Amino acid sequence: MLENIKKIGVLTSGGDAPGMNAAIRAVTRSCAYYDIECIGIYRGFQGLIEGEFEVLTARSVRNVINKGGTFLKSARSQEFRTKEGRAKAFEKLQEVGIDALVVIGGDGTFTGAIHLQQEHNIPIVGIPGTIDNDINGTDYTIGYDTALNTVVDAIDKIRDTASSHDRLFLVEVMGRDAGDIALNSGIGAGAEEILIPEEDMGIDRMMESLMKSRKSGKTSSIIVVAEGEKSGKNIFELAEFIGENLTGYDIRVSVLGHMQRGGAPSCYDRVLASKLGVGAVEAILRGESGVMVGITNKIVTSVDFEVAIKGRRPLDKELRRVLNITTV
Amino acid sequence: MLENIKKIGVLTSGGDAPGMNAAIRAVTRSCAYYDIECIGIYRGFQGLIEGEFEVLTARSVRNVINKGGTFLKSARSQEFRTKEGRAKAFEKLQEVGIDALVVIGGDGTFTGAIHLQQEHNIPIVGIPGTIDNDINGTDYTIGYDTALNTVVDAIDKIRDTASSHDRLFLVEVMGRDAGDIALNSGIGAGAEEILIPEEDMGIDRMMESLMKSRKSGKTSSIIVVAEGEKSGKNIFELAEFIGENLTGYDIRVSVLGHMQRGGAPSCYDRVLASKLGVGAVEAILRGESGVMVGITNKIVTSVDFEVAIKGRRPLDKELRRVLNITTV
Amino acid sequence: MLENIKKIGVLTSGGDAPGMNAAIRAVTRSCAYYDIECIGIYRGFQGLIEGEFEVLTARSVRNVINKGGTFLKSARSQEFRTKEGRAKAFEKLQEVGIDALVVIGGDGTFTGAIHLQQEHNIPIVGIPGTIDNDINGTDYTIGYDTALNTVVDAIDKIRDTASSHDRLFLVEVMGRDAGDIALNSGIGAGAEEILIPEEDMGIDRMMESLMKSRKSGKTSSIIVVAEGEKSGKNIFELAEFIGENLTGYDIRVSVLGHMQRGGAPSCYDRVLASKLGVGAVEAILRGESGVMVGITNKIVTSVDFEVAIKGRRPLDKELRRVLNITTV
Amino acid sequence: MLENIKKIGVLTSGGDAPGMNAAIRAVTRSCAYYDIECIGIYRGFQGLIEGEFEVLTARSVRNVINKGGTFLKSARSQEFRTKEGRAKAFEKLQEVGIDALVVIGGDGTFTGAIHLQQEHNIPIVGIPGTIDNDINGTDYTIGYDTALNTVVDAIDKIRDTASSHDRLFLVEVMGRDAGDIALNSGIGAGAEEILIPEEDMGIDRMMESLMKSRKSGKTSSIIVVAEGEKSGKNIFELAEFIGENLTGYDIRVSVLGHMQRGGAPSCYDRVLASKLGVGAVEAILRGESGVMVGITNKIVTSVDFEVAIKGRRPLDKELRRVLNITTV
């Protein structure tokens, strides 16, 4: 265990995700456990540059494990993208004597961390916190499981009205680059079809799929559409296209939007965040740096930031197959 | 009690609302209680024209009280708007010997019922089922309380991400003619401002309100916007306008959409639906017709359909004042 | 408006209820609105005696409207039941210059308030906050609506397993003196029977009711039992008795317990708490004292504390009838 | 692929679990996909003996994915524990021409399946459905994730009232042999201590832990107690013991009970159930028998029934450590 680590800073950056508070709590409590001072840094890298610090004790993080969002707040920072900005940030860290950093966020966060670490040689460990599950080197990111439940719960509600009125709903869910939310919530909500960034199924196949489902006697349908899908049409244009080419369907659009980011974290996300928070502090104490701690086959592991942000796992083809079969 | 009522038909029409199933259940069970046969009519007035009937027994409505939507389904019917359509409908009623009708829905439903009743002299009693609470002669409509909880729950989630990122959110909720959902959920979710159909506060006042809230140190805000508000801009244009005229705000839009119609009904809506379901059958047995049963000061009462659909209560000014004060 | 009210204290006392935070928030914001200083008093009357005060500003109550419990905490106070204790309390109020008090709680709270007010002539206004809905002079108490939803949600879950296994469940809900929770949640959850303090239906009638429901082909059943019911047997003894006298039933007991007190308040409770919080401060400013503000037919009204605590409304017989009919 | 499999039967047995309906749906749809007839068997092995069969089509399982419980129902069967009972069951299978069985349940279910398969040489594949997660050879059982969320949600509510009143709560959760629910929900709900079957921490250590937490200034605490914990005292005796030996604590007990078994399944459980339902049918078609399909490192795998029921994984020590650290 490194003896020279006396003070660890922790921040959240990028889009917020349910479970971030649980991760901050675990980092704080782990520091307390190992007799290290924990410094909360507000507003991500921007707050780091501006020195928005606060000492966190075991008590500071009481009653946060069940709260959505991040009490340390998050922000985008143009300044941190510059060498000068990062130099300022490092200065602030030195001023208060922070020996190492835990950064919680997604690939943008880790990219920033790489630069800071390389330019100023300060130990940094990352924790994957994003609802998109688009980080390499971890089976799950914090917030993803909660977002799936939020989406499925919303689509359950939409299904109530869809089947009361024999309607076809297009439901847009988050996922600019990754179809994980759409694929899993599509299976979970019993959707008839999904449109995701990883495959360009072509509008033809979607129409086929709809016609098949209609022939089978289905009178109401749900199509889950990931933000980043590749049809070239936005969801309202898609609805219009279907309406023009498939008579008799009463079509509606629902864009779930930012509510997918909030809410009390699921038990899974709270436990995952607790594991990774402890794991991040212990990784620092083992002398690791420039790595993200993630979960692989239920074990906490570390991967280089470069690996974490480098492209992502391919789509889970097996799961795609399960959707096709169970949608019959 | 009328002895000649042996068979009562029940249908749902118009937009579905949580609690409609509970109302159908109560109608069915009340019929069983009074030894009357209950006939479920599928797909509203259209199904009535087409004779989509099914006998409902006490058992048919087991385990539906907690389900959103309506298992009898709902549909719009152009045909029923014509005299010929309604004549066909009446014929179907006579074919199976239905002596009286319970119709569950909103003002469109009751308008249809007025015509059918006047043209064919069949006893009809209505039950107000719509999330909009825009029916005269009842303190609450079935589904409204559930929708409020759904909206508040969604805005709670949005608030998590709003305050993590210091953002301003415009959240669109249902309410084409009535601001009840916006006003109540606005108070319940701690929104900073609301835009509703009943008042044209003018964009200037909204901007003032935002500037005031910003001066008071607020960094994140929620504005609840009813569909039918009168600014003349849609919600995306409103967001753009604010962005252009108030610097420093990071603005987002969220349109809650059809999920507001679904979900397991709240306890209040289940109880209300049960009361009104019983009340509707008993009104028929007392010889009433052409009326809607509603709830006034916790008592089940009847008002003529004409009253129910004639404009609505003015906005609850006291509640508007409560919002202003608690938003300080 | 009284000019001499410059400082108002607010406390919560007795069992906590969801919406208490919303009420504190509304009191605080109303004070801010009327330029009055608001002092939060921790731990109810005990904290008042010990002078646990904190200034509350509009900002202090941000993000509390959606939280269960009470951030001012609650406690029982033996000392406050004595004249000496109340004299100490009054001294503390004078020390910090508190001119009037808002007390949020149930009948125990109001009884304490009566004594304090009469002995020391300080204006006090009460707000009914208790899940039991057992206060006279208000249609609803804060927390009651939320508790109903919590109970109905829990019984919905129990019904899943009850009907999977063809079981009879006895579910105990809160209500030592009042059957409101049992009656409303019984209707809402589709229970077959309820046992409540207001009526001693006798075990015989319950057995009859069970036998009838069994004959009708029901294989699973829910009986909702209020804590304070009068059969003379506790719920486990009741289960045993049924088991011994009705063969073939697989019987289980579930005591819902304290989770009924917690959770995010429903929209209704948030709005009610906001109305009553504003109402309480305005009542003080109108010169009222020794009263509770409540809601009657949607209007905020005042009644003397003595009325509020004096026995309660009789059971809603109409609702009892609705349960009987819809349970057929 | 086996050509001789024309008809597959599916049943649920043992304690019900959320997600069982999703599993039945996936089995049914997979059969449809592979042009196999699917026969639903009601009431588990007892219904098998009594021939309670129903053809399931893709349509039969519409709108069940989000429902708790099992629509095929479950039951204990003494008769099936006898050789004669199983012979009768096999006869029934032959009568309707069922070529293979999918059984969804826990270790009791698989034990029954072993006997049936060995005595009558019929292909049987199992799916782990139990909230207890106490099955070997799968990382997760269907229903477990949902139960964790239900428990954490309930404890969140209890925590509201615990911290409002500075109370110590003992909360009993399911888990006769396995502490998985207690350990994970304990971390997720931020409990101070857990008591589980896998370790006999001794009451002394619990008392130490409580005294430590009290010294650290905690005024409210949650202890999560698994049904099967080994202190030798039941939860009410434990509460009494603590009350006698730790002054100043206001102690309450809450037994969560059967609501843990119900409720809409989480997205995770719906996806897991869908995967395993497809996996079970495909395992049969590959010629496997006497195995359970489970999930290991996100991959669907098979293990012999004997392995599945033979003792279970040891406690996750790493997770136990995470609880200790984050509870500081």
d(Cα A152, Cα A184) in Å, to the nearest integer? 9
Say which of D74, D257, D263 has its CB closest to residue C254.
Answer: D257
Q: Is residue A315 in some structural domain? A: no
One-letter identity of residue C205? R
Instruction: Give me Rg for the CA atoms of chain A.
Output: 22
Which of C11, C132, C255, C258 is the best substitution to test chain D (most D C-beta atoms within 10 A)?
C258
Say which of C150, C165, C252 has its CB closest to residue D74.
Answer: C165
Report CB contact under 8 Å: C257, D254: yes
Nearest to C274 by CA among C258, C259, C293: C293
Question: Where is B281: in which H helix or E strand?
Answer: helix B267-285
State the binding site of A for Mg(2+): 107
Q: Is residue B315 in some structural domain? A: no
Which of A72, A161, A220, A266 is the best substitution to test chain B (most B C-beta atoms within 10 A)?
A161
d(Cα A106, Cα B299) in Å, to the nearest integer? 56
pLDDT in tens, B123-154: 999 999 999 999 999 999 999 999 999 999 99
Q: Say whether residue B274 is in contact with chain C using an 8 A CB cutoff.
A: yes
Report CB contact under 8 Å: A266, D266: yes
Q: Say whether residue D149 is in contact with chain C using an 8 A CB cutoff.
A: no
E strand map for B92-220: 100-105, 124-128, 167-173, 193-195
State the binding site of C for ADP: 25-29, 159, 190-192, 218-220
Report CB contact under 8 Å: C150, D161: no
Q: Is there a single domain that holds both residue A66 and residue A114?
A: yes
Q: Say whether residue B155 is in contact with chain C using an 8 A CB cutoff.
A: no
Interface of C with B in 207-236 (CB under 8 A): 216-217
**Is residue D156 among the annotated active site residues?**
no
Please tell me the least confidently modeled range out of B73-87, B277-291, D237-251.
D237-251
Q: Is there a single domain that holds both residue D28 and residue D62?
A: yes
Q: Return the SS3 of A134.
A: coil
d(Cα B212, Cα C146) in Å, to the nearest integer? 33
Q: Say whether residue B282 is in contact with chain C using an 8 A CB cutoff.
A: no
What region does A162 belong to: left with phi over 0, alpha with psi -120 to 50, or beta? Answer: alpha
Report CB contact under 8 Å: B158, A259: yes
Nearest to D132 by CA among D81, D80, D184, D171: D184
Are B86 and B57 in contact by the 8 Å Cβ rule? The answer is no
Nearest to D280 by CA among D31, D20, D102: D102
Mean pLDDT value of segment C75-95 = 96
Please tell me the least confidently modeled range out of B87-101, C189-203, D182-196, D270-284.
C189-203
Residue C247 has pLDDT above 80, yes or no: no
Residue D328 has pLDDT above 80, yes or no: no
Q: Is there a single domain that holds both residue C45 and residue C194?
A: no
Please tell me the least confidently modeled range out of A98-102, B108-112, B202-206, D101-105.
B202-206
d(Cα C280, Cα C302) in Å, to the nearest integer? 9
Tokens 């027994």, located at residue = B57
What region does C180 belong to: left with phi over 0, alpha with psi -120 to 50, or beta? Answer: alpha
Question: Where is C128: in which H helix or E strand?
Answer: strand C124-128
CB atoms within 10 A of CB B12: 32
Q: Is residue B222 in some structural domain? A: yes
Confidence at D74, pLDDT banded by 50, 70, 90: very high
Q: Is there a single domain that holds both residue C223 and residue C207?
A: yes
Residue D290 has pLDDT above 80, yes or no: yes
Say which of B29, B65, B188 has its CB closest to residue C270.
Answer: B188
d(Cα C91, Cα A133) in Å, to the nearest integer? 59
Are B156 and A262 in contact by the 8 Å Cβ rule? The answer is yes
pLDDT in tens, A38-88: 999 999 999 999 999 999 999 999 999 999 999 999 998 999 999 999 999
- The C-alpha of B294 sits at a distance from chain C's nearest C-alpha, in angstroms, of 14
Are C24 and C10 in contact by the 8 Å Cβ rule? The answer is yes
Q: Return the SS3 of B287.
A: coil
Report CB contact under 8 Å: D267, A32: no
pLDDT in tens, B155-176: 999 999 999 998 999 999 999 9
From the list A16, A132, A134, A180, the catalytic residue is: A132
What's the number of domains chain D is made of? 2
- The percentage of chain B sitting over the pLDDT mark of 70, rounded to a whole number, equals 99
CB atoms within 10 A of CB C302: 21
Are B290 and B115 in contact by the 8 Å Cβ rule? The answer is no
Q: D279 lies in which domain range?
A: 7-143+265-310
Q: Is residue B318 in some structural domain? A: no
Are D293 and D141 in contact by the 8 Å Cβ rule? The answer is no
Q: Is residue D250 in some structural domain? A: yes
Q: Report the CATH number that the domain containing residue B200 is assigned in CATH.
A: 3.40.50.460
Residue B211 has pLDDT above 70, yes or no: yes
- The C-alpha of C50 sits at a distance from chain B's nearest C-alpha, in angstroms, of 29
Q: Say whether residue D251 is in contact with chain A using an 8 A CB cutoff.
A: no
From the list D16, D35, D99, D132, the catalytic residue is: D132
Say which of D58, D266, D325 has its CB closest to residue A328.
Answer: D58
Q: Say whether residue C17 is in contact with chain D using an 8 A CB cutoff.
A: no
Mean pLDDT value of segment B224-235 = 91
pLDDT in tens, C8-53: 999 999 999 999 999 999 999 999 999 999 999 999 999 999 999 9
Mean pLDDT value of segment B63-70 = 96
Which of B43, B46, B159, B164 is the best substitution to test chain A (most A C-beta atoms within 10 A)?
B164
Nearest CA in chain D to A264: D153
Say which of C157, C252, C258 has its CB closest to residue D158.
Answer: C258
Nearest to C55 by CA among C67, C42, C69, C37: C37
Confidence at B328, pLDDT banded by 50, 70, 90: low
Q: Is there a single domain that holds both residue B137 and residue B277?
A: yes
**What DSSP string runs through C292-322?**
EEEEETTEEEEEEHHHHHS------HHHHHH
The distance in angstroms from the start CA to the end CA of chain B is 56
Q: Is there a single domain that holds both residue C221 and residue C175?
A: yes
Mean pLDDT value of segment D270-274 = 98
Tokens found for residue B323: 């919002």
Q: Is residue D37 in some structural domain? A: yes
Say which of A148, A278, A328 has its CB closest to residue D322.
Answer: A278
Nearest CA in chain D to A35: D328
From the list C99, C132, C180, C269, the catalytic residue is: C132
Backbone angles phi, psi at A35, to 5 degrees: 60, 40
Q: Residue D198 annotated as binding?
A: no
Q: Is there a single domain that holds both residue D16 and residue D117?
A: yes
**What DSSP string runs through A224-259?**
EEETT-SSSS-HHHHHHHHHHHSTT-EEEEEE-GGG
Residue C54 has pLDDT above 90, yes or no: yes
Looking at beta carbons, which residues of chain D come within 8 Å of A145? 267-268
Nearest to C14 by CA among C73, C62, C88: C73
Report CB contact under 8 Å: A271, D328: no
Question: Where is A176: in which H helix or E strand?
Answer: none
Are A126 and A103 in contact by the 8 Å Cβ rule? The answer is yes
Q: Is residue B171 in some structural domain? A: yes
The helix-helix angle for D267-285 and D144-165 (nearest 10°) equals 160
Q: Is there a single domain that holds both residue A138 and residue A182?
A: no
Interface of C with B in 47-76 (CB under 8 A): 58-59, 62-63, 65-66
Over the range B224-255, which residues count as b (16 or more CB within 10 Å of their CB) and which as e? bbbbbbebeeebeebbebbeeeeeebebbbbb
ipTM value: 0.96
Q: Is there a single domain that holds both residue D88 and residue D214?
A: no
Please tell me the least confidently modeled range out of A305-309, C249-253, D47-51, D139-143.
C249-253
Q: Is there a single domain that holds both residue A102 and residue A12?
A: yes
CB atoms within 10 A of CB D324: 14
Q: Residue D132 annotated as binding?
A: yes
Q: Is there a single domain that holds both residue A115 and residue A207?
A: no
Beta bridge partner(s), residue B125: B102, B291
d(Cα B248, Cα C11) in Å, to the nearest integer? 38
| Candidate ranges B194-203, C319-328, D53-62; pick with highest mean pLDDT | D53-62
pLDDT of residue B231: 86
Report CB contact under 8 Å: D322, A149: no
pLDDT in tens, A253-282: 999 999 999 999 999 999 999 999 999 999
Confidence at C274, pLDDT banded by 50, 70, 90: very high
Q: Say whether residue D164 is in contact with chain C using an 8 A CB cutoff.
A: yes
Nearest to A25 by CA among A304, A265, A311, A325: A265
One-letter identity of residue C150? T
Looking at beta carbons, which residues of chain C come within 8 Å of D44? none
pLDDT in tens, C117-128: 999 999 999 999
Tokens found for residue D177: 């042999």
Are A133 and A181 in contact by the 8 Å Cβ rule? The answer is yes
Residue A328 has pLDDT above 80, yes or no: no
pLDDT in tens, A119-165: 999 999 999 999 999 999 999 999 999 999 999 999 999 999 999 99
Mean pLDDT value of segment C181-186 = 97
Confidence at D287, pLDDT banded by 50, 70, 90: very high
Q: Report the CATH number that the domain containing residue B95 is assigned in CATH.
A: 3.40.50.450
Q: Say whether residue A18 is in contact with chain B using an 8 A CB cutoff.
A: yes
Confidence at B220, pLDDT banded by 50, 70, 90: confident
Residue A200 has pLDDT above 90, yes or no: no
Looking at beta carbons, which residues of chain C come within 8 Å of B62? 190
Rounded to whole angstroms, what are the CA distances from B209 to B137, B328, D150, D251? 34, 10, 41, 47
Q: Is residue C70 in some structural domain? A: yes
d(Cα B220, Cα D69) in Å, to the nearest integer? 42
Report CB contact under 8 Å: D160, C75: no
Q: Is there a single domain that holds both residue D296 and residue D210?
A: no
Report CB contact under 8 Å: B159, A262: yes
Rounded to whole angstroms, what are the CA distances from A36 to A91, C213, D240? 21, 64, 38
For strands D124-128 and D291-296, give the pairing: parallel
